Structure 1
Amino acid sequence: MLFDTITAISTPLGEGAIGIVRMSGPDSFQILSEIFKPFKKSNDVLENRKMYYGHIFNNAKMIDEVMVVKLPSSGSYTMEDVVEINCHGGMMPLREILALILSKGARMADKGEFTKRAFLNGRIDLAQAESVMDLISAKTEIGFDVAMHQLKGHLSEKITQYRDNLIGLMAEIEVSIDYPEEDIEEITYSKIESTLANIKNHLNDILEKSKSGKIIREGLKTVIVGKPNVGKSSLMNALLKDSRAIVTEIPGTTRDVIEEYMNISGIPIKLMDTAGIRDTEDLVEKIGVQKSKFYFNEADLIIFVLDASVALTKEDHEIMSLVKNKHAIVIINKTDLESKIDMNAIHSVLMDKTIIKASIQNELGIEALENEIKNMVFGNEVEVNYTDIMSNARHIQLVKDAEKNISDALNAVHSGMPYDFIEVDVKNAILNLGHITGESVEEDLMNTIFSNFCLGK
């Protein structure tokens, strides 16, 4: 039941200095008065937005010494009366305080229910609510900044503006449809086209920038491939600045896929070192090669490593034929040794790929690789405007759907179709944009979104 009093532990379970139990709802202040005894005169009333030291009691039994704060509905996160109890961060104090609050009539909060109430009470819109989880799960400073800008409502302001423009256009179309005989200025096809084309351009701009936003939020799946003994594991260790992968002179040392997360200029990278791709009779190595090919197909970015000190082999040519159709960077390793590789053959197959000459053992080429990855994500922009980046996959799809609706409406305009046909597509675009901010969201979708939140948020 919405708008009853809910409670949850809002900090991770385990040992820590401080743990927080949160309440929200109409009975929060009353429950606090029944279980909390401040370290002050008993007849004093606890003031709002002030932290008080005291103890939590279950009848005569003292549970823990705590610090508590009361936040009235006018300025709380949920726009309801909220209480936060800061206790010791062990498992037992948190669980005992939670159980005590539940015994006083509160119920356990569902996942994301505090943020859901903030949305339903009008404190934030749906896009801002979803950015809360993005803040919590951000892997880099840039990811955090993007989520923070969305929490502040920068994305919502743009989407709302485009939606309002479409609503205004639809109102004019409906007047022309419903009151053709009235002395009202009829909207023209040229005005419809101009308005729709302008909004379509803005949505296309958002979608173009969302490519980097999705990577910032979810990470760039990057797979290092190449035949055995070209320096793949050495490259991974150099990027991680740690000896994560075993490096030997023996080809086929890496038998399985090694995964690690790293940060390049604020971009979260899921880096995978794979077994060298080659024909082999070794059963274990063969399984590793099969895994390499699987991850190769799933990757956002391929780092293809070649050995400059040996001539191109059949395996190199086979891998090149696979890489040419992928987003890839080519590393020519071991350039400190005598070169025997045919660069012309590489350029002829991988003519559109960035090729970096490196000596991983001597730490040459690593910085160039990191800069190229940054350029692939952000383009050549020196400074990234975080307010323009959309990172949520649900939002991106809805903008794509709205852009498609507007394209269909423009096609109807160009074909001279009746206003009724144009109106249908404009309405669908309004609906899709409204799903982003929550203006037209269904209950089932809303419940699905908040079920992905952590408990206590």
Structure 2
Amino acid sequence: MSHSAAVADQNAGYYRVDPGTRTSEADGCRFKGLTVNTETTIIAPATPPGEGGLAVVRLSGSSSESLLRRFFKPSGKFPSLDSHRLYHGNLVDTDGSLIDEVMAVLMRAPRTFTREDVAEIHCHGGPLIVQQILDLFITAGATLAQPGEFTLRAFLNGRIDLAQAEAVADLIHARSVSAQRVALNQLQGKLSQIIRIYHRQVVDLLALVEAHIDFLEEDISPPQPDVLCRSAEEIIEAIEKLLAGFNSGRMIHDGLRILLAGKPNVGKSSLLNCLLGESRAIVSPSAGTTRDTIEESLLLHDLPVRLIDTAGIRHTDDPVEQEGVRRAREKTGSADLVLLLINADQHPDQDDLLALDSCCEQKLLLVINKQDLSPPVQLSPPWSDYPQVFISAKYRQNIDGLIEAARDLVGLSGGADSGESVMLYERRHYQSLLQAKSCLQRFISGCRAGFGFELLALDLRDTLQSIGQITGETTPDQVLDRIFSQFCIGK
């Protein structure tokens, strides 16, 4: 069901659901794997499971206030509960038995996250207490929320669009300040504002084309192909600027995959241990100690990194070592950056060239290790053709310089540029904009080939379809289901 098929009527307080998307349940709507009964009141813990100082249990729906008043007894005498005010009191069972001393707040629609009546109970953070509260309200008629259902209701009620809904989960799972910042920008609607500008520009272009179709007999001069092409090219140029930042946004959001490569005994495992700050890999003077890949996650200068140590690449007759070399080559293709290590005190040999050959098509930083042993040798092509940095993994010399060189090489020297920057990082958004760009390019080709306005209008409608998938106006049901099913329960 598209966003336009389920729109919140804030005055009447119900969802208008398109008859073509309504299920046999008169009070609900259904995605592929997620049934949403919009008339029920849902409940779920809003805090993680386990023991803690406090826990929060959240309700959303038309019965939130009546259920709260049934079991919550304020410390003072209050004829009614003011909205958005925190009250102290006791939560009692159906027979009046005390469950817990709590704080409670009622938030009336529409000034809530879901734009429904919302109630929260702040109790002591014991799992038994939380379970008792859930059981109490579910027995009284509430329904346990499905994963992401609070955010889904906010989306269906027009509180947020689909891009903002995705940003809720991204903000929760952010592993760095930069990732938090780009997710927060998207949650605040900054990406959606840009998408709406594209949408409006395409609609304006479509209006020019369709005016000639609808009023053909009114002797209206047809729009000039050059004017139409120029307008479409301007939209494409704006889309390309946003697309250009996708790789940087993806690495900030998902993390950077860095692969350590080189012949045996150049210090790959020593560098892994140095960056991790612990002895994760065995280090030995014997060549070929690492036989398999080792992967570890860490945060380097506010950048999430997946670090991959590989077996040393060399000619060998050992079948186990051959398998390690094969796996090292296999991992190279999935890396965002390869750190190719060589020894500072030795001229590169045939095994070094073999290692270079295995990763020369990837983005590569030449790491010249063991600079502490002797003055470095002079490098010649092809080695001198690559960006390089000198380090000593054993003595942690110039490790900060290595990290900054790596960030510069992948275009992340400044992180997320500023609090005002908008960065594309969701692959779904990237694919939708690529489709929109392709539709506009087809439109331009049609204009120049003299196609009829009916065909040109189809290309522009396809463009709107692709753009609308980002904010949820034209998103297929299965995509909506996949997005919201990835949320945790209670959000």
- Range class of TM-score, shorter chain: over 0.9
CA contact (8 A) 1:265 1:374 kept: no
Q: Please, which of 386, 389, 405 is the counterpart of residue 356 of structure 1? A: 389
Q: Deviation of residue 419 (structure 1)?
A: 1.9
Task: Call closer, same or farther: CA 1:382–1:287 in 2, change over 3 Å.
Answer: closer
The farther-off stretch of 263-272 and 371-380 is: 371-380
Q: Deviation of residue 277 (structure 1)?
A: 2.4
Give the distance between the partners of 1:278 and 1:93, measured in 2 at CA: 61
Q: Please, which of 76, 82, 98 is the counterpart of residue 112 of structure 2? A: 76
Give the distance between the partners of 1:198 and 1:262, measured in 2 at CA: 41
Structure 1 partner of 2:103:
67
CA contact (8 A) 1:155 1:387 kept: no
Structure 2 letter corresponding to 1:427: R
CA contact (8 A) 1:24 1:83 kept: yes
CA contact (8 A) 2:314 2:354 kept: no
The 5 A counterparts of 1:16-415 are 16-41=52-77, 44-58=79-93, 59-280=95-316, 285-338=321-374, 343-347=379-383, 351=385, 353-378=386-411, 384-385=417-418, 387-415=421-449
Calculate the TM-score normalised by the size of structure 1. 0.93
Give the distance between the partners of 2:140 and 2:319, measured in 1 at CA: 62
Give the distance between the partners of 2:468 and 2:192, measured in 1 at CA: 10
Q: Please, which of 430, 446, 451 is the counterpart of residue 480 of structure 2? A: 446
Q: Does structure 1 residue 425 correspond to structure 2 residue 452? A: no
Give the distance between the partners of 1:326 and 1:273, measured in 2 at CA: 16
Task: Call closer, same or farther: CA 1:118–1:259 in 2, change over 3 Å.
Answer: same
Task: Call closer, same or farther: CA 1:416–1:266 in 2, change over 3 Å.
Answer: farther
Task: Call closer, same or farther: CA 1:292–1:89 in 2, change over 3 Å.
Answer: farther
Q: Over aligned residue pairs, what C-alpha RMSD do you find?
A: 2.1
Tell me the SS of whatever aligns to 2:307.
strand
Give the distance between the partners of 2:326 and 2:89, measured in 1 at CA: 62
Identity %: 36
Unaligned runs of 5+ in 1: none
Tell me the SS of whatever aligns to 1:298.
coil
Tell me the SS of whatever aligns to 1:278.
coil
- Larger fraction in helix: 1
Give the distance between the partners of 2:75 and 2:376, measured in 1 at CA: 80
CA contact (8 A) 2:259 2:332 kept: yes
CA contact (8 A) 2:262 2:356 kept: no
Structure 2 letter corresponding to 1:259: E
Q: Deviation of residue 286 (structure 1)?
A: 4.7
CA contact (8 A) 2:404 2:413 kept: no
Tell me the SS of whatever aligns to 2:90.
strand
Calculate the TM-score normalised by the size of structure 2. 0.87
CA shift digits 1:348-378 (9 cap, x unpaired): 7xx2x31212222333332222112222333
CA shift digits 1:123-158 (9 cap, x unpaired): 111111111011011110000000001111110001
Q: Deviation of residue 425 (structure 1)?
A: 1.4
CA shift digits 1:403-423 (9 cap, x unpaired): 111111111122222222222
CA contact (8 A) 1:260 1:270 kept: yes
Tell me the SS of whatever aligns to 1:65.
strand
The farther-off stretch of 356-365 and 79-88 is: 356-365
Structure 1 partner of 2:31:
none
Task: Call closer, same or farther: CA 1:65–1:169 in 2, change over 3 Å.
Answer: same
Give the distance between the partners of 2:48 and 2:320, measured in 1 at CA: 40
Give the distance between the partners of 1:109 and 1:72, measured in 2 at CA: 19
Q: Deviation of residue 234 (structure 1)?
A: 1.7
Give the distance between the partners of 2:388 and 2:154, measured in 1 at CA: 50
Q: Deviation of residue 75 (structure 1)?
A: 0.7
Report the number of matched residues: 453
CA shift digits 1:51-79 (9 cap, x unpaired): 11222222233222221111111211000
Structure 1 letter corresponding to 2:92: F
Unaligned runs of 5+ in 2: 1-36
The farther-off stretch of 246-255 and 281-290 is: 281-290
Q: Deviation of residue 50 (structure 1)?
A: 1.3
CA contact (8 A) 2:389 2:405 kept: no
CA contact (8 A) 2:433 2:466 kept: yes
CA contact (8 A) 1:227 1:276 kept: yes
CA contact (8 A) 2:332 2:359 kept: no
CA shift digits 1:254-286 (9 cap, x unpaired): 343332222233321111222222345656555
The farther-off stretch of 282-291 and 260-269 is: 282-291
Q: Deviation of residue 82 (structure 1)?
A: 0.4
Give the distance between the partners of 1:381 and 1:254, measured in 2 at CA: 34
Give the distance between the partners of 2:101 and 2:79, measured in 1 at CA: 19
CA contact (8 A) 1:48 1:70 kept: yes
